[in-house]
Copies of this chain bind each other. A is one copy, B any other.
Amino acid sequence: MEVFLSSSRPLRADARRNREALLSAARQAFLGGDADAHVEDIARSAGVAVGTLYRHFETRDALIEEVYRKEVDDLCTEPGVLLDQHAPEEALRRFLLLLVDHAAVGKGMSGVLESIMATDSPVFDDARTRMAGALSLLLEAGSAAGTVRDDVTGPTLLRALGGICGMRATAGWLVEARQITALLFDGLRHGAPQAP
């Protein structure tokens, strides 16, 4: 149980390299769908020994948590990029599908995600908040352009997506999730029939 001071001096060059390699190896493993990849393997494929892994991450779960956090970070930068390249409506559509596909990562890590949630770690609150922010950005752009209805907020949409991605882990879930997301998107477009 190492203690990591948040105000420590910058890492030594090799240390930073190894840390990076570990995160990327772990990401690789979990994206590959191997939810219970062994630490030994992750360490080896990063070219270091387990001891090094444990120097950087308190536990296996902490490593996964970090991978998850980075993944969320990356996703949250996407809306900006998409809005540069596409009309708001299309950007929104792409982002929704991106999120669903991304839930595949969650699938690989589901057991741990549960345990993280149970731990009340702030990671999830953070993730939720940032993700809702990302969605809001898209929704606002769309409603400003008049192509997306303006009575749905980021957090609401996130909740809907959460429900969809909760389907994870039954066979064929991805296809179904994509369909439902497409429906959801249609409902978000301006001019869709609205409940009074």
Contacts and interface: CB of A to CB of B under 8 A. Distances in A.
A166 B196 CA distance: 28
- Within the oligomer, what is the number of copies of this chain? 2
A195 interface: yes
A16 B196 CA distance: 59
Q: What bracket does the count of chain A residues touching chain B fall in?
A: 10 to 19
Contact of A114 (B114, B118, B171, B196): B114
Contact of A166 (B35, B111, B163, B195): B163
17 contacts: A35-B118, A110-B114, A110-B118, A111-B111, A111-B115, A114-B114, A117-B170, A118-B169, A120-B170, A124-B170, A162-B166, A163-B163, A163-B166, A166-B166, A195-B195, A195-B196, A196-B196
B171 A120 contact: yes
Contacts of A111: 111, 114-115
Contacts of A118: 35, 110, 169
The 10 closest A-B pairs by CB, nearest first: A195-B195, A166-B166, A117-B169, A163-B163, A110-B114, A118-B169, A111-B111, A111-B114, A120-B171, A117-B170
Interface in A46-104: none
A114 B169 contact: yes
Contacts of A117: 169-170
Contacts of A115: 111
A166 B166 CA distance: 7
A124 B110 CA distance: 17
Contacts of A163: 163, 166
